[in-house]
Amino acid sequence: MAAAIGAGSRPVAGHSDAAATGGLGAPGYVVLGMVGLGARSGYEVKQMVGQSIRFFWTISPVQIYPSLQRLERAGYITGRAEPRGRRPRRVYEITGAGREALRDWLREAGPMPWELRDIGLVKLFFADTLGPGEAAGLLEAVRRRSEERVAALREVEPVAEAVSEQGDVYPMLTLRMGLAVHQAMIDACDEFARTL
């Protein structure tokens, strides 16, 4: 159908090639950004990612801790040991150089690959192989999945609202994107079901 679909957007090496993202790799900038927004420990970075950008980016602890070390060596964050009792703990703060590096990354012009991996849509694509009844069941399953996502995102809206009133308005936008995208999928399911 469309050689055109990918027009001009050669996939970036891996997901976040250092060369394509200014030397740190996308995960590194995500960690840097979260520290900039107030995450103090690696653990808090993980929490914040799970609570905010999980809809379009994930990261595991295994990537976070080495990233923090690299960022500190680069002078983009400063860390100090702040154990809780005898439990080790290291807290970080972004530096001026770190904030500048983050801004430079945000300003980088290059391509911004949008990569969706969705087994549900793959199955729907082949659904004609099934009978009409079973295909409709698959359609319903995909629809339900998006409804669950919408419900989950709606629960977070008040938090984003609060952040927005503090002056950070863009997290609200990315939340609305998530809502809009899944609502669009639900609507597409409904419209298709009508035409059947």
Q: Which of residues 121-160 bind DNA (CB under 7 A)?
A: none
Residue with smaller CB distance to a second copy, 97 or 169: 169
**175 close to 156: Cβ distance less than 8 angstroms:** yes
Residue 176 amino acid letter: R
| 188 binds a second copy per the rule CB under 8 A | yes
- The alpha carbon torsion through 159, 181, 102, 52 (nearest 10 deg) reads 30
CB 45 within 8 A of CB 35: yes
Residue placing its CB nearer to DNA in the complex, 101 or 139: 101
Instruction: Closer to DNA by CB, 88 or 167: give it.
Output: 88
Q: Which single residue is written with the structure tokens 């997901």?
A: 15
- Residues 6 or more apart in contact with residue 177 via CB below 8 angstroms: 55, 56
116 makes contact with a second copy (CB under 8 A)? yes
As measured in angstroms, the least distance from the Cβ of 61 to a second copy is 14
Of residues 74, 91, 113, 147, which one binds a second copy by CB under 8 A? 113
The answer to whether 108 and 22 have CB atoms below 8 angstroms apart is yes
Amino acid identity for residue 183 in this structure: Q
* Stretch near a second copy under the rule CB under 8 A, chosen from 11-19, 62-70, 73-81, 84-92: 11-19
Residues numbered 26 to 55 that lie near DNA (CB under 7 A) are: 26-27, 41-44, 47
Applying CB under 7 A, the residues found at the interface with DNA are: 10-18, 25-27, 41-44, 47, 58-63, 65, 68, 84-90
